[in-house]
Structure 1
Amino acid sequence: MTPAARISAAIEVLGDIETRRRPAADALKDWGLSHRFAGSKDRAAIASLVYDALRRKASAGWIMQDTSPRSVVLGMLRLQRGLDLQAIAALFTGERFAPEPLSAAERERLESARLDDAPAHVAGDFPDWIEPSLKRLFGDDTVPELQGLAARAPLDLRVNTLKVASREEAHDALPHLGAIEAPLSPLGLRIAPSEDGRGPAVQSEPEFIKGWIEIQDEGSQLAALLSAVKPGEQVVDLCAGGGGKTLALAALMDNHGQIYATDSDARRLAPIHDRLTRAGVRNVQVRTPRAKADAVTDLNGKIDCVLVDAPCTGVGTWRRNPDAKWRLRPGSLETRLKEQATVLDRAASLVRPGGRIVYITCSILPEENDDALIALMERKTGFSPVLVSEILQTAGLSHLEQSIRPTALGLQMTPLRTGTDGFYVAVLRRNP
């Protein structure tokens, strides 16, 4: 397919997303099934165009004064990909499979494209109803912080120290991937996003199959490191899901001590077993709930560290899931807040006196972060927040102090400040 034909396809997919109000991944899959002539490179390029358009949906529509799929793609090419009028016009010719030529009005808007007087939710490309929440955290930095969440994300890898001696050894085994050492995580490798959005097939690499590396955002790696779990401890990963942080905790503990991995939804635990085997993990006991029954009742009051990777809106992952921002509704936030309260109450009953709760979200909304912990401490007495400086020092990550954004009870990572997804981490200690 020509570049112009790919743009036509992206406009078609965006129209399907808008009409049927469905996730972008579903629309792209259906398009590929009905256009089998498109090769893998074509499908990847079309997906990249679609996701870039969704990243800049509000600002692109603003400069074009129209929110149709065609206008959003035009605005995205100008704002996100930096194409000038001449380059865009060369793609919109109306010739074989190319979009129709630019109108005089479209040309004028592309030439005069400015966001100087755009409202914050347009310039930052986010739903307007969460602006008060964002300004609570970011203040005058709201627009640049959210623009960071509209950029493409790199592909980060975590080196598994249960299988390989050092990050350098793993890096040297993967020169063809073009990876560099991640700037903040001592276990991280980073692969920059490609121009067409295609990443390397890491999961087919021998080193991945042998368990040397795992795909994990650097922010998620840091969140696990900030738990500061030690060999010999008793740990519960209460929202383990597919096991990404469980694997990281096991490596930190060097397979000594015990991790109990569980989740309220047994289906989310399905991938964890194969991942544990591949990574060489031997100190994890997977507790699968039966008929919604609690799987860790016998551990109440006995646990040194309860990791709560809480269900949340996922606002901090918008770089990777740009269509999710436009599907977010106030009701979704309310649901997540109730789920967070439930899981935090459960964590409070598990932790022993002197033990700790490590609370993690991939959100930048204060309601899901500091507010959730304040509400817990109002419901449950005997818990105190650990100072951010102590969290960083205990984990051996004091160098993060220059990058993270401290909050009332924890710390916030963001693409703008840390180059990671938007992770929040806080630690509560149960009084002895």
Structure 2
Amino acid sequence: MTSRPTDSPRRAVYEILQRVADGAFADVMLDTILSRSKLEARDRRLVTELVYGILRLQGRIDFALAQFCNQPLQRLQPEVLWLLRLGTYQLLELDRVPAHAAVNSTVELARELHLEQAVGFINGVLRSLDRGKASIPWPAPEKIKLYLQHVCSQPAWLSKEIMRQLPNVEARALGESLAGPPPLTLRVNSLKTSPEDFLHALGEAGHQAHLSTFAPEGVTIDRRGEKPLPGDAQGWYQVQDEASILIAHLLDAHPEQRILDACAAPGGKTTHLAAVTENQSEIVALDKYPRRVEMIQQGALRLGCSSITAKQWDLTEPADFLETQSFDRILLDAPCSGLGVLRRNPEGRWNKSSVNLRELAALQRQILENIAPLVKPEGKLLYSVCTFSHGETDAIIDGFLADHPEFVLENLQQQVSPDWADLFTARGTLRSYPHRHSNMDAFFAARLHRRS
């Protein structure tokens, strides 16, 4: 009997990878297939690990495969190549899966998918790889560009961007970080509980966790127990990376202010702003897509955030329904390449290019131009992105300031806790990196002050 994605973990992985190759998002496809799955918890975890691991390490996997395949990988039937990647990841990265099980399960899946003509080929390549994996000629760390591409699994365009930003030793460290899994970090909802009480509840439920290094509301899960995380239905927490948690604090928002979150979905930063202002500020949250506006509203309801009004609007057009110079604080967490969160969205490294970065920079500047008139005199605008490319970060700020002398760049390092000093550049912008800063995502933020 042919298995379905709902009852075979490796079949589920294959189906998800195929859909991602066609343009779907990995997290969406995982949720879709696992939501209708009959798989047990252990198999669900295996599916998640295989999908994200294969997408993160696709470059590394392909380098290894190329040593044992007698034809160029790009000439292989796509279905066959994904099966080879599935088997190779298990052989190289999963010690708990015996080699014979990794090979045999991949071969059986090929038969199940009616790829009988490729069964012998897949079996031969994977067995050769298993026998010869100790002799794979991985590039040495000193050969930084090749190391980033073939060991750290960064495509050539991204390797160049990393090397442009950092010296070789740090470029290598960032590449290694982006090739690994991300931490699971939660923002404790201060409207409902405290980090200390939540940490205690986690321990009582059998989870191991610790308070985050920088973010005051952050809790990082070290090891999950068998029970669900406590307080989900009660709105005790929001899944949110430590770098993302910092953003609401950097806006310097206070109760009784009028605040705009310009590109708000899915709403993690919006609801955090409601929490830090104790539901005592008027918060307007905009997003381009109606479904994502619903996500903001649902999150606000779950977390008890009563001060948020969410509305659909495409900010490539001026928001003419909002009064000029009417906001004390504006957060623009702009659409970006997401290079800083590639561990969470690993398909991004394979479906983007340097051309996309230039297109995104133009979009970011356009949105920034459209919201700047909404800032009150003496008000503040925080521009943030989860990326590290120069064109989406410093170049955006420098170009905007050159055209808008009414705004000045504030030095964030002088206005936050001394414990955060290492997070900021000499000019006072946030630059977080996973290899430097407690494994948090790579973020950039700059705060602009509008003079009277």
- TM-score of the pair, normalised by structure 2: 0.80
1:168 is matched with which residue: 183, 196, 208?
A: 196
Alignment partner, residue 129 of structure 2 = 106
Instruction: Pick which of 69-78 and 219-228 moved more.
Output: 69-78
Cα 1:120–1:199, aligned 2, differ >3 Å: closer, same or farther?
Answer: farther
Q: Displacement of 1:59 after TM fit?
A: 1.5
C-alpha deviation, 1:112, in angstroms: 1.3
User: Which residue identity lines up with residue 420 of structure 2 in the other structure?
Assistant: L
Residue 117 of structure 2 is matched in structure 1 by: none
Aligned to 1:132: 160
Shift, 1:356, TM fit: 1.4
Query: 2-side partners of 1:288 and 1:22: how far apart?
Result: 23
Q: Which residue of 2 aligns with 1:72?
A: 85
Alpha-carbon shift at residue 88 of structure 1 (Å): 2.6
Structure 1 residues 59 and 94: alpha-carbon distance in aligned structure 2, compared to 1, 3 A threshold: closer
DSSP 3-state at the match of 1:319: coil
Structure 2 equivalent of residue 227 of structure 1: 251
Residue of structure 1 in register with 2:431 after alignment: 412
Deviation at 1:147, TM superposition (A): 1.8
For residue 420 of structure 1, give the secondary structure of its aligned residue in structure 2.
coil
Tell me if the contact between 1:60 and 1:75 (Cα under 8 Å) persists in the aligned partners: yes
Q: List alignment gaps of at least 5 residues for structure 1.
A: none
Contact 1:10 1:47 in 2 (8 A): no
| Amino acid in structure 2 at the alignment position of 1:417 | R
Match of 1:361 in 2: 385
CA contact (8 A) 2:411 2:428 kept: yes
1:27-68, CA deviations, whole angstroms, 9 ceiling, x for partnerless residues?
Answer: 6678779x9664454243123112211111112221332553
**AA aligned opposite 1:337:** A
Matched, 1:263 2:287: yes
The within-5 A match list for 1:41-120 is 41-65=42-66, 67=73, 68-77=81-90, 80-81=93-94, 83=95, 87-89=98-100, 91-93=102-104, 97=108, 100=123, 105-113=128-136, 114-116=138-140, 118-120=146-148
* Percent identical: 24
Q: Of residues 300, 304, 307 in structure 2, which corresponds to 1:280? A: 304
Tell me the residue number matched to 1:337: 361
Q: Is the alpha carbon distance of 1:295 and 1:26 closer, same or farther for their aligned partners in structure 2, counting shifts above 3 Å?
A: closer
Q: Letter of the aligned partner of 2:135 in structure 1? A: S
Q: Which amino acid aligns with 1:415?
A: P
* Counterparts in 2 of 1:90 and 1:213: CA distance versus 1, 3 Å: closer
What is the aligned residue count? 414
Report the RMSD for the aligned CA atoms in angstroms: 3.4
**1:232–1:71 Cα change, 3 Å:** same
Q: Which runs of 5+ in 2 are unaligned?
A: 74-80, 110-121
Q: Which of 264, 272, 281 is equivalent to 1:248?
A: 272
Whether contact under 8 Å (1:9, 1:46) holds in the other structure is no
- Residue 143 of structure 1: aligned partner: 172
Kept in 2, the 8 Å contact 1:60–1:71? The answer is: no
Which stretch has the larger CA shift, 220-229 or 305-314?
220-229
Structure 2 counterpart of 1:92, which letter? V
Q: Distance in 2 between matches of 1:73 and 1:64?
A: 11
C-alpha distance 214-104 of structure 1, shift in aligned 2 (>3 A): closer
Structure 2 partner of 1:425? 445
Bigger relative contact order, structure 1 or 2 (CA pairs below 8 A, ≥6 apart): 1
Q: Which residue identity lines up with residue 191 of structure 1 in the other structure?
A: I
**What is the match of residue 11 of structure 2?**
9
Match of 1:156 among 185, 191, 198: 185
Structure 1 residue 350, shift from structure 2 partner: 1.1
Distance 1:70 1:431, change over 3 A: same
Q: Distance in 2 between matches of 1:416 and 1:234?
A: 36
2:306 alignment partner AA:
R
Aligned match of 2:221: 191
Aligned to 2:408: 384
- Pair 1:100–1:30, CA change in 2 (3 A): farther
Matched letter for residue 134 of structure 1: I
> Which SS does the other structure have where 1:270 is aligned?
helix
CA deviation vs aligned residue, 1:134-173 (integer Å, no higher than 9, x gap): 2222231223202211211222111111222x21112222
> Does the Cα contact within 8 Å between 2:63 and 2:150 map onto a contact in 1?
yes
Aligned 8 A contact 2:9 2:43 in 1:
no
Change over 3 Å in CA distance of 1:290–1:169 after alignment to 2: same
The aligned counterpart of 1:400 is 420
The answer to whether the 8 A contact 1:234-1:259 is kept is yes
User: Per-residue CA shift, 1:249-282, capped at 9, x if unaligned?
Assistant: 1111122232222223343211222322332223
Deviation at 1:297, TM superposition (A): 4.1
User: Does the 8 Å contact 2:434/2:442 carry over to 1?
Assistant: yes
SS in 1 for 2:182: coil
Q: Deviations over 1:71-110 (max 9, x none)?
A: 43455346544x39x9434532579948836666424541
Aligned to 1:354, what secondary structure does the other structure show?
strand
- When the two structures are superposed, what TM-score results if normalisation uses the length of structure 1? 0.83
CA distance change for structure 1 residues 262 and 26 in 2, over 3 Å: closer, same or farther? closer
Residue 344 and residue 388 in structure 1: after superposition, are their counterparts in 2 closer, same or farther (change >3 A)?
same
Asked if the contact 2:91/2:130 (under 8 Å) is kept, the reply is no
What secondary structure does 2:436 align onto? helix
The answer as to whether partners of 1:123 and 1:143 remain within 8 angstroms in 2 is no
Task: State the alpha-carbon separation in 2 of the partners of residues 328 and 51 from structure 1.
Answer: 17
Change in Cα spacing, 1:69 to 1:278, as seen in structure 2 (3 Å) is closer
SS of structure 2 residue aligned to 1:338 = helix
In 1, Cα distance between equivalents of 2:364 and 2:419: 30
